[in-house]
Amino acid sequence: MQVQVRTIHLKGWLALLVALAVFFAVAIGLAVLAFGIFLFLVPVLAVATLAYYLLPKPKPRPGQTGPVARGEIIDGSYRVVDEPDDRGASA
């Protein structure tokens, strides 16, 4: 089976014009596609945001503490578990 590929032989300014036309056609196609996706996503995101704010929030379980208030200091104690090894250090 023999495969034959035909090519378009364009020279000079015509080749440049065809290349620019193809580039702009692809760019315009991508812009239309992006605009269509944008028009679809904006209402979906608006409805999702509205639903997030209007739906009831889950209530904390009994015994579960809430978030730590700002400025509250949690005090604790600590102890050293292992002393650092100073034998390998050079002065």
How many distinct structural domains can be found in the chain? 1
Above pLDDT 90, what percent of the chain? 38
Does residue 2 belong to any structural domain of this protein?
no
CA atoms lying within 13 Å on the CB side of residue 49: 6
Domain that holds residue 37: 11-57
pTM (2 decimals)? Answer: 0.46
pLDDT band at 89 (very low <50, low <70, confident <90, very high): low
Mean pLDDT of all residues in 39-68: 83
- Is the distance from CB of 74 to CB of 68 less than 8 angstroms? yes
Does residue 40 belong to any structural domain of this protein?
yes
CA 50 from centre of chain: 22
Structure letter (DSSP) for residue 12: T
